[in-house]
Amino acid sequence: MRAPMKPLDTNTDPRVVGPFELLARLGEGGMGVAYLARRIPLDGLSGELAAAYNLIEPDGDAVEEPRLVVVKLIQPKLLDGEPQYRERFGREIDAVRAVVSDRVPALIAFEEDPAADRPWFAMDYIAGPSLHTMVKESGTLGIGPYAALGLALVDALRAIHGANLLHRDLKPDNVVLGPDGPVVLDFGLAVLIERSSSQALTKTGTRMGTRSYMPLEQYKDAKHASRPADVYALGATLFFALTGRSPYPFGPSASEPKWDGVDVPFLPLLAKTLVSTPSQRPDLDAVEDSLLTLLADADLPPGLAAQQLKELVEAAALTPELPPEAFADQVDPEVRELARQAVDADLPDVDPGFYGVIYTDEIELAVDEVDPAPEPMAEEIDPAAPEPAVYVPTLVAPHPTPTSYPLPPPRAPEEEPQPETPQAPPRAAQKVATDLRRRYARRGNL
């Protein structure tokens, strides 16, 4: 049954953020609040909007109709706290825009200026239920949908790891079964794989993530987790798709998971991915091979398996119900005026030709981050809790020296025109320069 989205709280939720009209609440966590929103077309402001909000238009065309997006804002209570919260929010933006994949929502716009009243970013809205909702409401997955889900998650992690990132919080709640297949959400815990310890926000020994889907090494020390940690989370997510439960509800355990509900064809892959020793887990290519072998043994081509998953999601009819405003052809004049006022207040004073040199090409990602208040569904871990022991699985996968020159004699002073008082660069230029300095200052090799 389709559930309606949560309405806005008129006392606390903004009506407009930049060029977006907020329509409903989607979720809330320790770092941010997510809203369903739509882009408000504002005539004559496309160039300024692109510069002020880093808007990314599809195919370079102007948006003529409202477009549904997810807008995420930093929690208001964190704005006056430690600067690391703003820093971490900016790093999440970096992570989202660094990954280009059909299995990750596309970044649409963002505002990460350190001086901004409340940083935010917007990304594509994916219409569909989470994997958690799908399994709990409609039942576990068969071979075809299961393998199609696994192959999609492999593609997502390939793109994430290809951007030199770790996700660190892959789980059923962060997988949305969209009309074009599964999509991985929530980069709140994402981090660069290669990082400088002097720039890391996460301290050695920090426990962060969701304990029922994290591996033992991440439970002990999230800072030094690597690619195999995401492979473990992939296996734990697939385990849930088959059984409706996580392999270790209370965190990684010394014992094997209870294999009830896992048929024999699924055991080899899951037993390998859920091992406690990272080096014994398969890489993404091996996971993909195992899933393709599972399909071949069932005489199911990958395309048919993907279609089975799509039909299963459509039949379940669990996609959240959109609010009426999402279907309106026109934007409310009051909302449009609010958006225009917000844009006018935020627009930089720039020269008309400046927008041709906006910095957009190279993205230098920030490094590690801390999560004292986790994102939705990420559980806080009690440091006093006993550490689980290692589980051994049933199945294991096989310049020259400068020269001095005499100075020329001084010349008589000449009358020269006095230079004009230099003008301050445009605000947009200052913003870009600040951003460049901040990003390159973080590079460990500079």
CATH number at residue 99: 3.30.200.20
Q: Are residues 282 and 142 in the same domain?
A: yes
Q: Is residue 428 part of a domain?
A: no
Check whether 89 has a pLDDT greater than 70: yes
Domain that holds residue 48: 1-127+321-364
Q: Are residues 179 and 301 in the same domain?
A: yes
Q: Are residues 182 and 301 in the same domain?
A: yes
- Gap between the Cα atoms of 195 and 197, Å rounded: 6
Backbone angles phi, psi at 39, to 5 degrees: -70, 135
Q: Is residue 388 part of a domain?
A: yes
- pLDDT at position 374 is 40
Q: Is residue 72 part of a domain?
A: yes
Q: Is residue 92 part of a domain?
A: yes
Are the beta carbons of 158 and 166 closer than 8 angstroms?
no
Q: Are residues 92 and 155 in the same domain?
A: no
The DSSP symbol for 134 reads H
- Gap between the Cα atoms of 183 and 134, Å rounded: 14
* Pairing label, strands 32-39, 20-28: antiparallel
- pLDDT at position 34 is 93
Once rounded to an integer, what is the mean pLDDT over residues 88-106? 88
Once rounded to an integer, what is the mean pLDDT over residues 242-246? 97
How many structural domains compose the chain? 2
CATH number at residue 143: 1.10.510.10
Q: Read off the pLDDT band of 45 (50, 70, 90).
A: low
Q: Are residues 258 and 359 in the same domain?
A: no
Q: Are residues 136 and 254 in the same domain?
A: yes
Q: What is the pLDDT of residues 138-187, one digit of tens each?
A: 999 999 999 999 999 999 999 999 999 999 899 999 999 999 999 999 88
The string of DSSP letters for 60-122 reads GPPP-S--EEEEEEE-GGGTTS-HHHHHHHHHHHHHHHH---TTSPPEEEEE--TTSSS-EEE
Amino acid at 103: R
Q: Are residues 145 and 264 in the same domain?
A: yes
Q: Is residue 313 part of a domain?
A: yes
Q: Are residues 260 and 227 in the same domain?
A: yes
Q: Is residue 434 part of a domain?
A: no
Average pLDDT, the chain: 76
Check whether 245 has a pLDDT greater than 90: yes
Backbone angles phi, psi at 342, to 5 degrees: -65, -40
Proportion of the chain above pLDDT 70, given as a percent: 65
Q: Are residues 202 and 326 in the same domain?
A: no
Q: Are residues 292 and 203 in the same domain?
A: yes
Q: Is residue 422 part of a domain?
A: no
- pLDDT at position 96 is 87
Q: What angle do CA 399, 402, 403 make, to 5 degrees?
A: 150
- Gap between the Cα atoms of 285 and 401, Å rounded: 53
Q: Are residues 90 and 176 in the same domain?
A: no
Task: Give the helix, strand, coil percentages of the chain, each rounded to 5.
Answer: 40, 10, 50
Q: Are residues 136 and 204 in the same domain?
A: yes
Q: What is the pLDDT of residues 352-410, one digit of tens each?
A: 333 333 333 333 333 344 343 344 445 545 555 555 555 555 544 444 444 444 445 55
Q: Is residue 328 part of a domain?
A: yes
Q: Read off the pLDDT band of 425 (50, 70, 90).
A: very low
Kindly list the distances between the CA atom of residue 50 and the CA atoms of 18, 60, 70, 89, 438, in Å, as whole numbers in the listed order: 11, 11, 18, 21, 21
Q: Which residues are tagged catalytic? A: 169
